[in-house]
Amino acid sequence: MSKSYRVAILGATGAVGTELLELLEHRNFPVSDLRLLASERSVGRTLRFRGENLAVEPVSDRAFDHVDLVLASAGGSASKTWARVAVEKGSVVIDNSSAFRMHPEVPLVVPEVNPLAAASHKGIIANPNCTTILMAMAVWPLHQVKPVKRLVVATYQSASGAGAKAMAEVKTQASAILQGQQPVAEVLPYPLAFNLFPHNSPLNDLGYCEEEMKMVNETRKIFGSQQIRITATCVRVPVLRAHSEAINLEFETPFSPDEAREILSHSPGVKLVEDWGTNHFPMPIEASGRDEVLVGRIRQDISHPCGLELWLCGDQIRKGAALNAVQIAELLVEKNLLKLSATIYASS
């Protein structure tokens, strides 16, 4: 990484944006110039980077002038508005929203799973949904040994998935309940403190919510297989940070839990956490702030001879969002892909 790059963070003051800032510094990404972009209400704030206080700037056409890389985490509508502007000005955009994930010309990348897909970018690379990334990290190494026929997953998603305001709201709600007061829900549709509810994203005609369908469709795209049968149930739980997932995998032939442990114990970005004697397995409180996806409680599915069960926890803000985006950026730099192809992506 001898060359340095001009970088902009779109949505710099949000939960993922501030994590992006920290990771760029911590991982020593070669930044020559950094622009922090956010909505008008955040303009005037300053954020610390490499010992300096950087002012937050408003988003505008001119904000993307002479920028090599845009790390976007300001939501789908902002990405649809500004990503094409940035690309037309010569930037490569790594987008954390759902705006472009299923577009056929936009690669959907988890660097430990499908790094080669990044080479096909036409200016935009999509970061998968947080739950999809965490699941892919644990399932892909096993899928490489024996292809998965069917995948059933239930998620236990923390408040961090709804942003910094949701995290603050849960704390306020918990305090209110402990003082005998009624909790107020403004960011999420229902009180989350001491409660849980199915993910509140829009439902389709089959009764699956948008979050669940993201796991289905994105996993198939990342794995390059439309044949995997996938079903998901996504639940919001009263945890501040780090998501958990219970995964059931069905293979053509039996998959030994010991073999799965051996594979996952050597898989990049994964840490095996199992102490059967003390019943200690991955917990969100231990996954919070960590880069690795914690995987454990790997066991034979007693209802199916070719079934395997596992449990994971991963930090939604880090590997589920900001870290994956920065890893994609590092991949582009390493492979000299931080440049536009002859044909840029044009949004429809």
Catalytic residue among 121, 143, 199, 243: 243
Catalytic residue among 130, 143, 199, 234: 130
Distance CA 193, CA 177 (A): 8
First to last CA, the chain: 35
Rounded to 5°, angle at Cα 67 from 38 and 53:
50
* Helix H or strand E encompassing 330: helix 323-334
Asked about 66 being catalytic, the answer comes back as no
Is 333 flagged in the annotation as binding? no
261: DSSP letter: H
Look-up: residue for tokens 């958990």?
244
Asked about 130 being catalytic, the answer comes back as yes
Nearest alpha carbon to residue 12 among 68, 94, 71, 66: 71
Is 179 flagged in the annotation as binding? no
Is 236 flagged in the annotation as binding? yes
Distance CA 10, CA 82 (A): 9
CA dihedral 43, 44, 48, 49 (to 10 degrees): 60
Is 277 flagged in the annotation as binding? no
Is 160 flagged in the annotation as binding? yes
Is 50 flagged in the annotation as binding? no
Are the C-beta atoms of 282 and 275 separated by less than 8 Å? no
Is 172 flagged in the annotation as binding? no
Is 297 flagged in the annotation as binding? no
Is 101 flagged in the annotation as binding? yes
Residues belonging to the binding site are 13-16, 41-42, 101, 157, 160-161, 210, 236, 316
Which residues belong to the active site?
130, 243
Residues belonging to the binding site for phosphate are 101
